[in-house]
Structure formats: structure tokens, C-alpha cells
A = this chain, B = another copy of it.
Amino acid sequence: MLIDERKQAAGTGISPVERLNALIATDMQAADKLILKGMGSTVKLIPALAAHLIESGGKRLRPMLTLAAAHAGGYGGDGHIKLAAAVEFIHTATLLHDDVVDESALRRGKVSANLVWGNKPSVLVGDFLFSRAFQLMVETGNLTVLDILSGASAIIAEGEVMQLNSARNLSVTEDHYMKVVAAKTAALFAAAAESGAVLAARGDGFIQGFEAYGENLGIAFQLVDDALDYSGRQALMGKSVGDDFREAKMTLPIILAHARAKDEEVRAFWKRVIETGNQTEADLNRAITLVEETCAIQETMRRARAYADEAKAALAILPDSEIKSALSDIADFCVERAY
């Protein structure tokens, strides 16, 4: 039956994310409701600004992991709804603070909050959502999930600070880049899945399986994101292309393209556009050409594939279920969305 469903899903073009969403639809709706309630405040600017990000069509991938893990473990309470909302708030707070920082022009296809409202409100509304996240976690009464998610929050902040050193710095290594990815992105994916699994109380193997799934999925997700930033496909998804390039971020495609530069002239090009930040729009075109010529995108995608496979392998420890099957397909989908 599962195979039939998958065929059917493929036939009707339903993505595995939508499939998982349908499997836990009641929980997703309850989490959405709590998210809308939790961002409420008598201070009107707070819900107005928060809604700009929260209602702008994000896929709620992280809270979905929390709900899926709790659901897969047969959890019967309502703590997973609170955790899911908390996870989305932590993610949204990170985006708001990242926007202040990175001057990114487009976020989820919309003008970023800090361009509309300014840096000041973006920082403070992020702080509000972050606090709300902790209030919701406290409501679960579960100190283990509080420990997991407060630990993840500290690691995310460390990753974001580490990333500062990745800008305008050609000497950034693959190792440094991977540490940043693990901290700024994978830590929340891992904590989201792990904390949902903790609530289900199905033993250490169950918890570790979900944690490893989240961790590896998060790394794959970020690698694909960084590859897409140099791909025309990104434009079709309503996101701008070349954001990372304009901010002179040393993501894996650039690290590889620079390492594989064929001559001094190319190395001088990278030095100018990355280290001095002196760029024109034509430079972005040349960067894309160089990234393509050196197969840096393929290599980035190849590594993303390996992490997606690790994510799938981590699910092996879990009992079979439709949720497990959807999660496995999501790992594939995460990589395949780039093709």
C-alpha cells in the first residue's frame, strides 16, 4: 500500500513534504493556531512584523519534524504542538536577526522585514519570538526538551558568529564551512526532531534515530541551498540568485571553485570579488560560469546526496510507518528539488 501511495503521489505531483503534512494534518493545524496565538501581543508592531515572515508561505519544515517524531512515537499529549510552535519561533527569530545582519533583499520571495521596518524592530521582534519560544517550552514541563532546544539555540548563535569569518575571506576551509553549516542550520533540524522524539518516550534508539535524521537532513538542506544560490532554478522558486555572492560569503561552491581555479587570472578574480567585495553584476555571471566550469555545484550536490542518504539510514532504527516512509522521501526530495 505504501508503494501504491508513493506511486500515486508521484503521479499527482504531491511532494513528500505535502504527504507528511497530510499524515499529521490535525497537529500541523493545531501548531499553526498556536503560532498565530503565540506571536500575538498588545504591542501591535510585534504580530504585524512577525506575520510578515510567519505567514509568508514558509513550509514549516522544522516544526513538522517535531510533530512527525512525536506522532511516530505514538505520543498522546499536547506538548509536541507547543514544541513545534517554539521551534518555528526560534527559526523565525534567527531569520529576523540574520536579515538585520545580511541585508538580504529577498526572503521567501518577499522583501525582508528589516528593509520594511528597519533593523531595530527586526531585532526586538526576534527577541520577543525567542522569549515566546521558551515560554512554550516551559509549558511542556519537560526539562529534557528545554535542555535540547536551549543548547541548540546557543549553537545556532555560535554558528552565525562563525559565519561572520566566512565573509570576504578566501582562506575559509571546507572544514570551517561544514562546522558553520552544522551549527547554524543542522542544530535546529536535529533539536526539532530529537525533542519531538523525547516527548514520545520510546527509548534512546528512537531519540537518536530522529536526532541523526534531523542533523543529516539539515546539512543536506543547507548544502542544496548554497548550491541553488548559484543556480537559475532559484529564480523560479521566487528567491533571488547570487545573494551569497553579493555578500561575499564563502559557501562550498565558491570554496571549491576557488580551489580549482585554473590560473592566476581566475585566482585574482576571486580575490577581487570576495576579499575586496568590489563587484559588478557581470562579476556574478562570471562567478556562475566559473562555479559551473569547475563542477563545484555538482560536487556540492554530491555531498548533499551523501548526507541525505545518512538521514535515510538513520531512520532504519525506527519501526516502519507511513511517517517514516514520508521522512525518507523528504530526504530524497530535499536534494532532488535542485534538479
Interface set of A (CB-CB < 8 Å, partner B):
41-43, 45-46, 93-94, 97, 100-101, 119-121, 123-125, 127-128, 130-132, 134-135, 137-138, 141, 143, 146-147, 150-151, 153-154, 156-158, 160-162, 164-165
A161 touches B124 (CB 8 A): yes
Return chain B residues, CB-CB under 8 Å to A143: 138, 141, 143
Return chain B residues, CB-CB under 8 Å to A141: 143
Complex alpha-carbon distance, A43 and B179, angstroms: 11
Given the interface pairs A158-B46, A161-B46, A162-B43, the reply to whether A147 lies near B135 with Cβ below 8 Å is yes
Return chain B residues, CB-CB under 8 Å to A45: 161, 164-165
Complex alpha-carbon distance, A28 and B100, angstroms: 36
Chain B: minimal CB distance from A181 (Å): 15
B157 touches A134 (CB 8 A): no
Return chain B residues, CB-CB under 8 Å to A153: 127, 130-131, 134
A150 touches B131 (CB 8 A): yes
Q: Which of A42, A138, A156, A162 has the most CB of B within 10 A?
A: A138
Return chain B residues, CB-CB under 8 Å to A162: 43
Complex alpha-carbon distance, A156 and B93, angstroms: 15
Chain B: minimal CB distance from A90 (Å): 9
B101 touches A123 (CB 8 A): yes
Chain B: minimal CB distance from A96 (Å): 10
Chain B: minimal CB distance from A263 (Å): 34
Q: What's the number of copies of this chain in the assembled complex?
A: 2
Given the interface pairs A101-B120, A158-B46, A164-B45, the reply to whether A150 lies near B127 with Cβ below 8 Å is no
Complex alpha-carbon distance, A131 and B94, angstroms: 12
B138 touches A150 (CB 8 A): yes
Return chain B residues, CB-CB under 8 Å to A94: 127
Q: List 23 A-B contacts (CB under 8 A).
A: A41-B161, A46-B157, A100-B120, A101-B120, A101-B123, A121-B161, A121-B164, A124-B157, A125-B161, A127-B156, A130-B153, A131-B150, A131-B154, A134-B146, A134-B150, A135-B147, A135-B151, A135-B154, A137-B150, A138-B146, A138-B147, A138-B150, A143-B143
Chain B: minimal CB distance from A320 (Å): 34
Chain B: minimal CB distance from A140 (Å): 10
Contact of A128 among B42, B46, B120, B158 (CB under 8 A): B158
Return chain B residues, CB-CB under 8 Å to A97: 123-124, 127
Complex alpha-carbon distance, A147 and B43, angstroms: 21
Complex alpha-carbon distance, A186 and B97, angstroms: 25
